[in-house]
Structure 1
Amino acid sequence: MAETGPAAYDDLTFDVRVAGPRDGAPVVLLHGFPQTSRSWTPVARLLVGRGFRVIAPDQRGYSPGARPTGVEHYGISALAGDVLGLLDEFGLDRVHLVGHDWGASVAWYLAAHHPERLTALTAISVPHLAAYGWAVREDDDQRERASYIRVYREEGRAEDLLLADGARRLRAMFAPGVDRDAVDHYVAAMSAPGALTAALNWYRAMTRDLESTPPVRVPTTYIWSTGDTAIGRAGAERCREFVDADYEFVVLPDVSHWIPEEAPTEVANAIGRRRNG
């Protein structure tokens, strides 16, 4: 992305990557854990080439100027509020919202509670929060895949585990779908003082209320990959039940969890099909 700069609101300052024509259809890209807006670079290049205006923030805890101390500052309503603040800062009434991993969780929540701000939704990897919550409770496979979350919620232990031995475990998370330069960038970002704790606070602030997220009523595309070690098929297939609008389910065979970097063309194509909502 060609432009970078800060966006300040609610006493927080977010680092934001922006590219594309100012009059292009706006697309906001929300990254996941433990990445930054850099994860969208391959997708953004394709979208800009198709005339979109792309805006990708480093979200709460990931931007050094938006890293409040305390788990209580990382609940889903605050994370979604950051996106609304971003839209207002850029003067955008409605956007195509795209999220991957935790960014998808925020996107689902925002789409469910503020559909008037979206022309369309593209969620990647994580299904609708009610579908995911059901799968964790009822599906043995998804329960096993989600077992890492219990560790991430342990303050101190998770940080030590992920950063030990030169961040060996953190680096291993990205194999094989992410190139080494990008991994180095993410590890450096997460190694900054307080950064990993802030990112893990997203997990620590989770409550079961997420399962009661209402159905989404905006045109929606959900992208899931069969090689995703974190998200199984049960919740992915049930996602459709929680979208009361035009819905497309895209399955990418043998792609890892890191879909935006491993399959950017497929992601850009899916977004492009929603150009007019």
Structure 2
Amino acid sequence: MAEAGSDQHLRAGVLDVAYRETGPADGPPAILLHGFPYDIQACLPAAERLAGRGVRCLVPYLRGYGPTRFLDDATPRSGEQAALGADLLAFMDALGIHQAVLAGYDWGGRAACVVAALWPERVRGLVSCGSGYNLHDVARSGRPAAPESESRLWYQYYFHTGRGRAGLTENRAGIAELLWRQWSPHWDFDAATLARTTASFDNPDFVEVVIHSYRVRYGVVPGDPAYAAIEERLAAQPKIGVPTIVLEGSDGGVFPPKSDDGDAVRFSGPYRYRRLPRIGHNVPQEAPEAFAQAVLDLM
């Protein structure tokens, strides 16, 4: 049984990736992936449950978070979807994992969707939380949404400005707390829970990666040329054909659920949709049992 309480490191692609591992080393692997503005703390409760059921759980800090570091100072601090997907694939390769269940939300769900869409042979199953088909359509990103929907994206437009960059630099924990409360209105987290996560934002690359992520998805800045071929494939908005379970909180504050499951048409393989009452955006931490069960159901 791997030790769950300490960070491990390995070189994978352009990163020295910090991660937690728990569960039997010979168990079926699952990779649990966090989003913004969160870190691995969101996934650890589910990882503990899964480890108790014989699953080998790996929970990496994404680029720009926690102890994960870039290997080369010259590498662009990209936050684009192709970079996140490439990081995940490199992480699997470095660990010698041919196939795993991938489970995540927000940025982590996007990384999982990229790998599931473009390298389906590497994915035993996909758990995608919130937006099930979590791939950016950059070509259509300039089309305005309804005013109420636009208002929920204030932080993204804020990060397009110099003032937003300065604000994120100076107020990382404060912005995270505000977004957590807006996005998860029934999640009664305390100051200690917030502090455990926001410590990960002290990463020297956090601001650059976050700012780039929220600019490149709108075409405001260019992506890293190293990932141009992946982005070109994603621009076709490929369907995802791996076995998938989508978990959506009934009270997510980024994109509240619609009356129907509009993403189902984006999936061509076995597909299940589950709506979770009184759960917000941070599904793994708010509903660890449901998150863990979805992983088990795909094993």
Task: Name the TM-score class by shorter chain.
Answer: 0.7 to 0.9
Counterpart secondary structure, 1:161 = helix
Counterpart secondary structure, 2:37 = coil
1:235-269 deviation per Cα after TM superposition (whole angstroms, max 9, x unaligned): 97211010001111110112121111111111111
Cα offset for 1:199?
A: 2.8
Quick one: which of 21, 24, 27 aligns to 2:27?
24
Cα offset for 1:139?
A: 5.2
Q: Which residue does the alignment assign to 2:177?
A: 171
Judge conservation of contact 2:160–2:214 (CA < 8 Å) in 1: yes
Q: Which residue does the alignment assign to 1:196?
A: 207
1:194-236 deviation per Cα after TM superposition (whole angstroms, max 9, x unaligned): 4233233222232577664201000001111121110222497
Higher mean C-alpha displacement, 158-167 vs 213-222: 158-167
Amino-acid identity (%): 26
Judge conservation of contact 1:131–1:236 (CA < 8 Å) in 2: no
CA distance 1:138–1:274, change in 2 (3 Å): farther
CA distance 1:233–1:4, change in 2 (3 Å): same
Cα offset for 1:159?
A: 3.5
**1:47 aligns to 2:53 (yes or no):** no
CA distance 1:130–1:168, change in 2 (3 Å): closer
CA distance 1:120–1:165, change in 2 (3 Å): closer
Judge conservation of contact 1:97–1:120 (CA < 8 Å) in 2: yes
Counterpart secondary structure, 1:8 = strand
Judge conservation of contact 1:30–1:37 (CA < 8 Å) in 2: yes
1:26-48 deviation per Cα after TM superposition (whole angstroms, max 9, x unaligned): 00111100222222111111111
Q: Which residue does the alignment assign to 1:161?
A: 167
Judge conservation of contact 2:64–2:203 (CA < 8 Å) in 1: no
Letter in 2 for 1:174: W
Judge conservation of contact 2:110–2:135 (CA < 8 Å) in 1: no
TM-score scaled by length of structure 1: 0.87
Quick one: which of 118, 126, 134 aligns to 1:121?
126
Quick one: which of 62, 66, 70 aligns to 1:66?
70
Letter in 1 for 2:191: R
Q: Which residue does the alignment assign to 2:224?
A: none
Q: Which residue does the alignment assign to 1:250?
A: 274
Judge conservation of contact 2:242–2:269 (CA < 8 Å) in 1: yes
**1:145 aligns to 2:152 (yes or no):** yes
Gaps of 5+ in 1: none
Judge conservation of contact 2:46–2:292 (CA < 8 Å) in 1: yes
Which whole-Å CA distance do the structure 2 matches of 1:39 and 1:166 have between them? 17
Counterpart secondary structure, 2:117 = helix
Q: Which residue does the alignment assign to 1:218?
A: 242
Higher mean C-alpha displacement, 97-106 vs 184-193: 184-193
Q: Which residue does the alignment assign to 1:56?
A: 59
1:61-89 deviation per Cα after TM superposition (whole angstroms, max 9, x unaligned): 22442386776633222221111111111
CA distance 1:73–1:135, change in 2 (3 Å): closer
Quick one: which of 100, 104, 114 aligns to 2:109?
104
Quick one: which of 72, 96, 119 aligns to 1:91?
96
What number of residue pairs does the alignment pair up? Answer: 274
Letter in 1 for 2:70: A
Judge conservation of contact 1:162–1:170 (CA < 8 Å) in 2: no
Which whole-Å CA distance do the structure 1 matches of 2:11 and 2:131 have between them? 28
1:5-33 deviation per Cα after TM superposition (whole angstroms, max 9, x unaligned): 10103342010111100111100111100
CA distance 1:254–1:121, change in 2 (3 Å): same
**1:231 aligns to 2:255 (yes or no):** yes
Cα offset for 1:56?
A: 0.9
**1:272 aligns to 2:275 (yes or no):** no
Q: Which residue does the alignment assign to 1:240?
A: 264
Judge conservation of contact 1:163–1:191 (CA < 8 Å) in 2: no
Which whole-Å CA distance do the structure 1 matches of 2:11 and 2:58 have between them? 14
The structure carrying a bigger helix percent of its residues is: 1
Counterpart secondary structure, 1:233 = coil
Which whole-Å CA distance do the structure 1 matches of 2:137 and 2:82 have between them? 18
Letter in 2 for 1:264: P
Higher mean C-alpha displacement, 266-275 vs 145-154: 145-154
CA distance 1:190–1:166, change in 2 (3 Å): closer
TM-score scaled by length of structure 2: 0.81
